[in-house]
Amino acid sequence: MKRIILLVLFLSWGLQSQACDICGCGLGGVYFGILPMYSTHFLGLRYSQASFKAVIDYKNNQYFEDEFSNDTYRRIDLMGRYSITKRLQVNFIVPYLMNDMDGSHQRIQSAGVGDPMVLLYYNLFNTGDNGTSFWQHSLSVGGGVKLPVGEYQKQDAGQIINRNFQIGSGSLDYLLSMNYTLRYQKFGLNAEASYKINSHNSEDYRFGNQSNMSTYLFYWITTPQVAILPFAGAYYEQAEKHFDGKIEQLNTGGSALFGTVGVQLFRKNLNLNMMYQMPWKQDFNTESTVSISANNRFTIGLVYNFSFKKKKKAKVKKPNWQ
């Protein structure tokens, strides 16, 4: 669908190499979520999927034929964290994207390595080791860059395809992020937010700046073999309009609010995370003849925590919420 700039990025955790302009944490943004630490470093894989439907309804205009597009955005993230000191950490995300456009006037498949992200986090405070208080909390703030690695000039029939459907953006972008966790005994709250400042690529095209926020309540359950952490909450994503040179692009930008439910399972150094998101409210910047709707999303990931220091075999326990 060449006449619509599809508003599809987590995610988060946009998502948001951005499969779309409003899904920051979902598919293209900075999202790490609830990551209790058994040890200093981690490596993980995360799979995310989101789909959107866009329609142009010409109201029975005899000169134009209605158009539609059903688009699916899949993403596999290689992610990790390396602790430089107790407070200073480097996080990275390297995405592999698989985008499918199934439209009335255009069908395209794109796949490849997207734009990686590297962030430096600083832990302002962490009372996870304080056994004298029922209240424990941790706050980390960070910043970094998204590197222009993914393909951003893919063509179909001799024309550049939809910018949102490209594997990369072609621009060097800047990231700000924070992650806060508050816990009282077995109950807790996690809040995460990020903001991405986009620059122009070599073709003078600039995606709108993106922001996303999430808040989840969780409950910590322990068993002899595994620890279980169910959580539920809300996720919000927002993006500004795109610009081609100095020309504002129609049908770009907007916001969406999702309800989220999920569960994390912990066994020794492994962390399995599953999350399902349902759209509650959507407000896309569209023309009167255009409608865009987001469908449900889901994410599943596996993280391995490790340390270079030898440690005794540990039982399942409440984590350090750094």
- Over its C-alpha atoms, the chain yields an Rg (Å, rounded) of 20
Domain boundaries, the chain: 24-306
In sequence order, the 6+-apart residues with CB closer than 8 A to the CB of 322 are: 37, 123, 126, 128, 138, 140
Task: Specify whether the CB–CB gap between 218 and 205 falls below 8 A.
Answer: no
pTM here is: 0.85
C-alpha span between 225 and 106 (Å, rounded): 51
For residue 318, what is the DSSP state? Answer: P
Local confidence pLDDT in tens for the 322 residues of the chain: 444 433 333 223 333 333 333 333 335 567 777 776 645 799 999 999 999 998 988 887 777 888 888 999 999 999 999 999 989 999 999 999 999 999 888 899 999 999 999 999 999 988 875 555 678 889 999 999 999 999 999 888 888 888 888 999 999 999 999 999 999 989 999 999 999 999 999 999 999 999 999 999 999 999 999 999 999 999 999 999 999 999 999 888 999 999 999 999 999 989 999 999 999 999 998 888 888 999 999 999 999 999 876 555 555 555 555 4
State the pLDDT at residue 39. 57
State the pLDDT at residue 133. 66
* Lookup: tokens for 315: 């039982």
The dihedral through the CA atoms of 227, 215, 36, 272 has a sign that is positive
Residues 24-306: name the CATH superfamily: monomeric porin ompg (2.40.160.40)
C-alpha span between 35 and 42 (Å, rounded): 10
C-alpha span between 5 and 156 (Å, rounded): 15
For residue 37, what is the DSSP state? Answer: B
State the pLDDT at residue 18. 30
